[in-house]
Structure 1
Amino acid sequence: MVYVEIFRSTPLLVQLLFWYVGVIAALPAIQDAAPLGDLGYLTNRGMHLTWIFPTETGRALTWWLLGGVIVGMAVAWFRRRQLERAGAPGSGAIAGVAAFALVVIVGFLVALSTSAMPAATTYELRRGDRGTLFEDVNGNGAFELNTDRPLAYVPITLFGADGQVIATGMTNGDGGFRFVDLPAEATRLEWTTPTPLVISEPQRQGFNFNGGISVTPEFAALLLALVVYTGAFIAEIVRAGINAVSKGQWEASRALGLTTGATLRMVVLPQALRVIIPPLTSQYLNLVKNSSLAIAVGYPDLFNVSRTIVNQTGAEVQGILLVMATYLSFSLITSLFMNWYNKRVSLVER
């Protein structure tokens, strides 16, 4: 209740500035980055986190993931129907997750056994410490952005003129690489075939981090403010919806021998959703529109980008209409989905 009252009563703009100026800006600089164990680092330039990326040999995993989602949803649906016909408690979620994991594991093993680098793989080395690893589509030996395909997250090794190893690392998502403070200029590069997935950890190089995933301070402040602010309203909506179900429903379910979890899932929530969904729809619509406050901390959201386009082109009316149409589209999609779900969970009465 304290969390709900504090964050629900504080204006969103005030919370946004608090997270940006009072919390994130007060974090240490990159030179004194606060470690998060194996997860990454916190700095006043944002969060630098360890992340899992698909490599050049893991492109097919996207289709396996999509297939795993479809198979998992189908298995969970069939399992839930089976439990309902048998009158047994359960949701089928465990069976669905197991099916999804099985499909993904099979896909990973298939990708691992068939992984191979393109035959036309080559590199472009510049200044002895940076360059690009790419598939030379046109065979001219030079990297052309719109023609050649960069190879992402591939392990590489740099060699000096004497043939000694001077650095090891990994290409980034754009196929590029850059090293800082090398003992000598690199003259040659070798690469190895990567696994379908790779764990990329952020490493400090010079005045920035390389590797992993970086979250800008503006986006982090916007995310924290929207989550905390909207979460307070949603928590109150869910609490009110559950309290709207009479205590007699709880007592009747206990008399039938149902556990607390089964009571919530099979008795209380189906009735509470009729009260929860309509105000929850309004909160999701507010969440979409509140994201426009990102301009207060300089995050380049849709509104901010539209102002830049207007300043460069002078098409102010068209820019504003485009922003209005975009927000309207998001709102309509959210409203249509929530209205469909509201009809789906509503109890049919005669």
Structure 2
Amino acid sequence: MNADQAAQWRGDDKRLAARRRRNRIRYHATQFAIVGIAILLVALFAVAVKDGLARHGIKFSFSFLGNAAGFDISEGRTFAIGEDSWPSFVGFTSNLSIAQAFVTGIVNTIKVAVLAIILSTVLGTLLGVGRLSTNWVVRNLCFWCVEFVRNTPLLIQLVFWYFAVVLHFPPIATAAKFYGIVISQQGLYLPALVWQGGDSPYAIALGAVFLVALAGAFVEKIRPFRWACIVALVAVPAIMLLTGIMELDFPVASKFKASGGTSISPEMAALLLAIVFNSASYIAEIVRGSIDALPKGQWEASASLGLDRRSTVNDIILPQVFRVVLPSFGNQYISLTKNTALGIAIGYPDLFNVYGTIANQTGHSLEGIVIVMISYLILSWIISAVVGWADRRMARQGAMR
């Protein structure tokens, strides 16, 4: 290679780099222009709506959020700033603001959504695996459960769980008790962990260790450190219980009410049951279809290695399935979260139900529905981001293996 050829190659590299830089700038400029046009269109639409309302004597403003609510919410907590200027989590009362009422509705929605996501994932996976069981009874039982639930409307299922099941629980005087759990018409009462450490430096340090271990168990890539975090997640709560920093508070039922522990209202119990069973039926089909899509050689190879069916499913099939089904799970989780709005049918004070009360009290229905739509949009974005992060993480781990 002579000096002229080397100089020509360096010139070609520079021109190629400049072309790539121009293409990258053009790409980002186009994206920013599209986003800017979209924001401009939304702003123009908002101004047009505001002017149209003003011509009819209707004021579009969010200033009403600071007014006192003037109504109670049957359950739920919200954020409030106390005398020490620190935010605290308190029960909602009528003297709190309308903004705090919206927060209560959002908290109630998140509470149901998170529990339903966890429970429906576990139940749906079991049903999906059961659909492929070699046991005729288990296979057909799972099949008919999935088919029945998927082919009936969720609203009808919700009404069934509330009026035919939950409201027929025994009264509190004769409530069913099972290992510290109290089941009655007034709700479901569960044992709860109660913080007794106060502001003790030792207690705060243990709490900080637990939070760090929790983050490390999900984020840490080095396996020995991850296992150390998992061990800390088990050891730290045990130490807190043994030293009295945390106590397990069991519910106690009397003739008229139950006290202690934590409670789940009948409305929340019915909504949770309906959403869990409905979502689990769809998740079961996702899992079953993904297992069927795997090559049959996976089963044959595991059988040739002497693995039984349970070991094959747990160690070979499901790890591959979960790398494939996470995007579909994410769609189902978003749908599940939006379905919590059906709680209005049985009086559960979720975000949409609270909005209805606020709209009737204040007349600001348009402003309220904007808040509700943005809230559901943000919740959906959060779920998409978490599922996307988990999907990318599992993909990297699969590539490294």
TM range (shorter): 0.5 to 0.7
Equivalence for 2:191: 50
CA distance in 2, matches of 1:23, 1:14: 13
CA displacement at 1:306 relative to structure 2? 1.2
Change (3 A) 1:35 1:61: farther
Change (3 A) 1:307 1:63: farther
Change (3 A) 1:203 1:264: closer
Equivalence for 2:326: 277
Q: Which amino acid is 1:326 matched to?
A: S
More strand by share: 1
Range that drifts further, 293-302 or 257-266? 257-266
Equivalence for 2:5: none
Identify which of 278, 297, 303 aligns with 2:346: 297
1:342 and 2:391 are equivalent in the alignment: yes
Q: Which amino acid is 1:334 matched to?
A: I
- Post-superposition Cα deviations, 1:61-111, rounded to whole Å, max 9, x if no partner, equal 57634523533664788797469xxxxxxxx76x653232233344556xx
CA displacement at 1:27 relative to structure 2? 1.7
Identify which of 150, 169, 190 aligns with 1:8: 150
CA distance in 1, matches of 2:205, 2:155: 41
1:328 and 2:371 are equivalent in the alignment: no
CA distance in 1, matches of 2:315, 2:197: 45
- Tell me, what secondary structure is at the counterpart of 2:335? helix
Gapped runs of 5+ residues in structure 1? 84-91, 113-194
Q: Which amino acid is 1:14 matched to?
A: I
CA displacement at 1:223 relative to structure 2? 0.7
More helix by share: 2
Verify the 8 A CA contact 1:244 1:272 in the aligned structure 2: no
CA distance in 2, matches of 1:40, 1:49: 5
Change (3 A) 1:37 1:264: closer
1:218 and 2:267 are equivalent in the alignment: yes
CA distance in 2, matches of 1:246, 1:258: 17
1:102 and 2:267 are equivalent in the alignment: no
Equivalence for 1:153: none
Equivalence for 2:210: 68
- Tell me, what secondary structure is at the counterpart of 1:25? helix
Q: Which amino acid is 2:152 matched to?
A: T
Report the TM-score when normalising by structure 2.
0.55
CA distance in 2, matches of 1:77, 1:258: 32
Equivalence for 2:276: 227
- Post-superposition Cα deviations, 1:151-202, rounded to whole Å, max 9, x if no partner, equal xxxxxxxxxxxxxxxxxxxxxxxxxxxxxxxxxxxxxxxxxxxx32233233
Verify the 8 A CA contact 2:352 2:372 in the aligned structure 1: yes
1:18 and 2:160 are equivalent in the alignment: yes
Verify the 8 A CA contact 2:214 2:233 in the aligned structure 1: yes
Q: Which amino acid is 1:53 matched to?
A: V
Range that drifts further, 255-264 or 277-286? 255-264
Equivalence for 1:248: 297
CA displacement at 1:331 relative to structure 2? 0.7
Change (3 A) 1:63 1:333: farther
CA distance in 1, matches of 2:203, 2:218: 22
Verify the 8 A CA contact 1:270 1:345 in the aligned structure 2: no
Equivalence for 1:268: 317
Identify which of 19, 26, 30 aligns with 2:172: 30
| Residues 158-197 of structure 1 mapped to structure 2, 5 A cutoff | 195-197=244-246
CA distance in 1, matches of 2:338, 2:218: 34
Verify the 8 A CA contact 1:58 1:197 in the aligned structure 2: no
Change (3 A) 1:49 1:107: closer
- Post-superposition Cα deviations, 1:7-42, rounded to whole Å, max 9, x if no partner, equal 1112111111111000111122223x3322332322
CA distance in 2, matches of 1:82, 1:209: 45
CA distance in 1, matches of 2:392, 2:248: 43
- Post-superposition Cα deviations, 1:38-65, rounded to whole Å, max 9, x if no partner, equal 3232221211233332236487757634
Verify the 8 A CA contact 2:172 2:254 in the aligned structure 1: no
Gapped runs of 5+ residues in structure 2? 1-142
- Tell me, what secondary structure is at the counterpart of 2:247? strand
Range that drifts further, 324-333 or 201-210? 201-210
CA displacement at 1:344 relative to structure 2? 3.4
Percent of aligned pairs sharing the same letter = 37
Identify which of 355, 368, 378 aligns with 1:306: 355
- Tell me, what secondary structure is at the counterpart of 1:36? strand
- Tell me, what secondary structure is at the counterpart of 2:258? strand
CA distance in 2, matches of 1:344, 1:198: 36
CA distance in 2, matches of 1:245, 1:5: 23
